[in-house]
Amino acid sequence: MWVAYALLALAIAATLLGPRGQRPVNAAMLAAGLFAVAFFGLRGVGHPWLPGAAGVIAAMVGFLLGIVATTWGTAGLLALAFGAAAGTAAHGFKLPWPPLAALAASIGLFLGVTRLRKLHVGLPPLFAAAFTALGAAIGWAPHWRGAALFQLNDVDWVLGLFLVLAVPLSALAVQRERWNTRLPAPAATSDDELKKAVAALKSAARGE
């Protein structure tokens, strides 16, 4: 149940913080992704505790990267997502997945660095919708008597809820960005005004 509440908290943070909401999203997704890579990639290698320990260390590194480094956190998230998607697809088609995953990850890294502003507007509402739909499905849809949202046991309902939430949240994010860009900039001070201010300070210092 705590997973559902954690996902809902992430969704609320991503929505309320606007573009800055990408930081907690990056931290959570990089932590989970790097933990999964380390844990499942090292299974059967060395001592039995090695995958778990490496997964925890990798998760902490991903969390710190997502919180501290906004640009590289977003780029790393896209690289991880693109690489995982390409690797999974290549493995499904019996193709050599490491080079394809590396190529897709490099594309995600490039897009994350060069399209940062647009991504920080568009990604938080999408992740907020996904976290809300997944959290509701985990917390209130399991097959027990009196389940509040039993419809979410069906994947189609989960995807439908995601779309229903993603559209208004994305529209809100775009509108909020427009409001922010329309805010009047502080009036620029001309050179003459600066010279007059400096002259007045000098006069005051000399007691004139």
User: For position 90, what pLDDT does the model report?
Assistant: 87
Q: CA-CA distance, 202 to 57, in Å (whole number)?
A: 59
- Report how far apart the first and last C-alpha atoms of the chain are (Å, whole number): 74
The full set of domain ranges for the chain reads 2-206
> What is the structure's pLDDT at 49?
84
Between residues 44 and 118, the one the model is more confident about? 118
The SS3 assignment for 95 reads coil
Task: Give me Rg for the CA atoms of the chain.
Answer: 24
Does the pTM exceed 0.85? no
Q: What is the pLDDT of residues 159-190, one digit of tens each?
A: 999 999 999 999 998 888 888 777 655 544 45
Instruction: Find the Cα–Cα–Cα–Cα dihedral 173, 174, 177, 181, rounded to 10°.
Output: -170
Q: What is the DSSP string of 75-143?
A: HHHHHHHHHHHHHHHHHHTT--HHHHHHHHHHHHHHHHHHTHHHHHHHHHHHHHHHHHHHHHHHHH-SS
Is the pLDDT reported for residue 202 higher than 80? no
Q: What is the pLDDT of residue 188?
A: 46
pLDDT of residue 167: 93
- 103 falls in which pLDDT band (50, 70, 90)? very high
CA atoms of 148 and 125, how far apart (whole Å): 25
Distances (CA, A) of 170 to 101, 124, 150, 174: 29, 8, 27, 6
Rounded Cα distance, 131 and 158, in Å: 11
In order of 11, 118, 152, the CA distances from 26 in angstroms are 12, 15, 26
pLDDT winner (highest mean) among 19-28, 101-110, 114-123, 193-202: 101-110
**pLDDT value for 67:** 87
Q: What is the pLDDT of residues 63-99, one digit of tens each?
A: 998 888 888 888 888 988 898 889 889 888 888 888 8
Q: State the average pLDDT over residues 7-34.
A: 88
Angstrom distance (rounded) from CA 37 to CA 39? 6
The pLDDT assigned to 193 comes to: 62
pLDDT tens for 27-74 read 998 898 889 888 887 877 777 788 888 989 999 998 998 888 888 888
Does residue 66 come out as left (phi exceeding 0), alpha (psi in the -120 to 50 range) or beta?
alpha
